Amino acid sequence: DFTVPQGTFTVELDALKAPRAVANFIGLADGTQTWRDPVTGEVRGGAAAGAFYDGLPFYSMTDGFALLGGLRPYVGSDGKEYWEGPGYTILDETTNGVDMARGVLAMAEFTGPHSGGGELALLLTNAPSLGSGWTGFGAVTGAGMAVVQAVVNAVTGGSGRVAAQIAIRSGAMTPEENAALAAARADLPVVEEMPLGFRRESNVTARATFGSAPRSRACL
């Protein structure tokens, strides 16, 4: 359930066709999935608490066919505003048979294949060409698109940003869905504190490095 100033709309998630995207979405919404704070660099979520999608903003349109949201804003050292994901990406599920149609909730690509991780897209029209890169993992139910359209109107004609709170309901989950989600959760990247290295390459150049060994094949 997405609660916005304009009302509430519900999205039914498809854990069988897109278990990885659904597990990632739920984890970022309820705080069980780890992520990296774009401002402080600290690891949040999981044992550290804090949900990435807490107060999720809807902030822009993509050529009129999708409402975008989910990234976290921060101000860089140059004083400009930037938007950042959870600090990792996940593998696409683009061949899962979910059509890119009006009302679908999708994980948006960022810079090419397997580059999504946090940005969400609510499709406002049929866009089959997106099926080659965006992963559809749910759909708005009932009359919820009327509320989505009200959000679109506010984003394009108002402040340009609408905050939402997400509540997860897990009613009527089948054993197959639970099994698919459990397997997908185990394969999500684990964000952890990273050791910092420093070396001087010359009397005028120094290089700082930080890195962490991948914990799963979904960590790119």
- Shortest CA distance to 25 belongs to which of 66, 111, 83, 86? 86
Give pLDDT tens digits for 80-133: 888 889 989 999 998 888 888 999 999 988 777 888 899 999 999 998 776 567
pLDDT number for residue 150: 95
* Burial (CB count <10 Å: 0-12, 13-18, 19+), residue 14: buried
Q: Which helix (H) or strand (E) holds 90?
A: none
- Shortest CA distance to 69 belongs to which of 189, 184, 152? 152
Place of tokens 């294949």: 113
Exposure string over 55-92, b if 16+ CB within 10 A, otherwise e: ebbbbeeeeebbbbbbbbeeeeeeeeeebbbbbbbbbb
**How does the average pLDDT of the chain come out, rounded?**
86
| Amino acid of residue 179 | A
pLDDT number for residue 146: 97
Give pLDDT tens digits for 63-78: 788 999 999 888 877 8
pLDDT number for residue 49: 86
Q: Provide the whole-model pTM.
A: 0.85
Contact 151, 162 (CB under 8 A): yes
